[in-house]
Structure 1
Amino acid sequence: MKATEVLADAYERIAEVVHDAVEGLSAEELNARIDPKANSITWLVWHLTRVQDDHVAEASGLERVWTAQDWFTRFALPLPAAATGYGHTPRQVGTVLVESGELLLGYFDAVHEQSTGFIRGLTATDLERVVDAGWDPPVTLGVRLVSVLADDLQHAGQAAFVRGALQRR
């Protein structure tokens, strides 16, 4: 199995966890926080999707789905278009709300499609390309894709945990 096939498979696993965490929940459940300082399922999935969208678009030279496909307007969040959730305060987390899981999954699926399409078109040599020379050692495309993968799986797992906690209430 090629490295790019392994990455594509791993990104498919993110999609499975995200869909399992979101599907069948009401807007109230998606937006609920188990503690005032905790993240909601909505925020976790929005954030992991924004990070994937931002980082993969930058590394690939593609447009960010958030703005290119007008998801920014559809979500109508009181945040700048460039916001990804990184460093959000609990108050900012509370502003990321959806009226349905369909909106959340629609954006996730659009980003997932762009990311996996890009990944499937890569070669092993492409993964060695430096995408951020500001680090020591410089960050390659392969390392960036694994970094996004790790972050997304953590947040998807957190969303699944929140779902379980809410259902036990």
Structure 2
Amino acid sequence: MRSAEILADAFGRVSEAVHRAVDGLGSRELMARIDEEANSIAWLIWHLTRVQDDHIADAMNTDQIWLSAGWVDRFRLPLPASDTGYGHSPDEAGAVVVDSPDLLLGYFDEVHDRTMHFVSALSDDELDRVVDENWTPAVTLGVRLISVVTDDLEHAGQAAYARGILLRR
């Protein structure tokens, strides 16, 4: 199995986890918070998608889908267009409001499709390319992609956990 196939499998698992967490929920469940400081399912999925979009666009040296495909306008969030949710306060996280799972999943699926196209075509040598020199050691593309997968799976797992709690109430 090639590295590209492993990465594609990992990102495919992210997609499965995201859809399991969101499918069948309405706006009320997506926006619910277990307590006043907890992140909603909507925020968790939006955030993991924003981070993936940001990091993949950077690796590809292209625009984020959030901006280029107009998702920023469809979401109409009271946040800067460049915001990915990193470091959000509970109030900022609460500002991520969605009307339906279609909006969340539409954006996620478009980002996921581009991610799959990108990672499926990578060679092992490309994974050694340095993409961020702000760290010691510098971050390679391979390390960055694993970071995105783990962050995405962590947030998708949090969304699944929140879903379980909310549906049992």
TM-score normalised by the chain length of structure 2: 0.99
Find the counterpart in structure 2 of residue 104 from structure 1. Answer: 104
1:168 to 2:168 alignment: yes
Find the counterpart in structure 2 of residue 56 from structure 1. Answer: 56
State the Cα RMSD in Å: 0.5
Q: Deviations over 1:134-166 (max 9, x none)?
A: 211110000000000100000000000000000
Find the counterpart in structure 2 of residue 87 from structure 1. Answer: 87
1:125 to 2:121 alignment: no
Find the counterpart in structure 1 of residue 44 from structure 2. Answer: 44
State percent identity of aligned pairs: 58
Find the counterpart in structure 2 of residue 72 from structure 1. Answer: 72
Counterpart residue identity of residue 111, structure 1: V
**Quick check: 54-63 or 144-153, which moved more?**
54-63
Counterpart residue identity of residue 150, structure 1: T
**Quick check: 104-113 or 55-64, which moved more?**
55-64
Find the counterpart in structure 2 of residue 10 from structure 1. Answer: 10
| Aligned equivalents of 1:168, 1:8: Cα separation in 2 | 33
Please give the secondary structure, in 2, of the residue aligned with 1:85: coil
TM-score normalised by the chain length of structure 1: 0.99
Counterpart residue identity of residue 61, structure 1: N
| Aligned equivalents of 1:139, 1:60: Cα separation in 2 | 15
Counterpart residue identity of residue 24, structure 1: G
Find the counterpart in structure 2 of residue 142 from structure 1. Answer: 142
Please give the secondary structure, in 2, of the residue aligned with 1:78: coil
| Aligned equivalents of 2:70, 2:134: Cα separation in 1 | 31
| Aligned equivalents of 1:134, 1:42: Cα separation in 2 | 30
| Aligned equivalents of 1:96, 1:9: Cα separation in 2 | 29
| Aligned equivalents of 1:156, 1:62: Cα separation in 2 | 26
Counterpart residue identity of residue 114, structure 1: R
Q: Deviations over 1:40-84 (max 9, x none)?
A: 000000000000000111011122000010000000000000000
Find the counterpart in structure 1 of residue 25 from structure 2. Answer: 25
Provide the aligned length of Structure 1 versus Structure 2: 169
Structure 2 alignment gaps of length 5 or more = none
Find the counterpart in structure 1 of residue 114 from structure 2. Answer: 114
Please give the secondary structure, in 2, of the residue aligned with 1:131: strand
| Aligned equivalents of 1:37, 1:135: Cα separation in 2 | 30
Please give the secondary structure, in 2, of the residue aligned with 1:86: coil
Find the counterpart in structure 1 of residue 156 from structure 2. Answer: 156
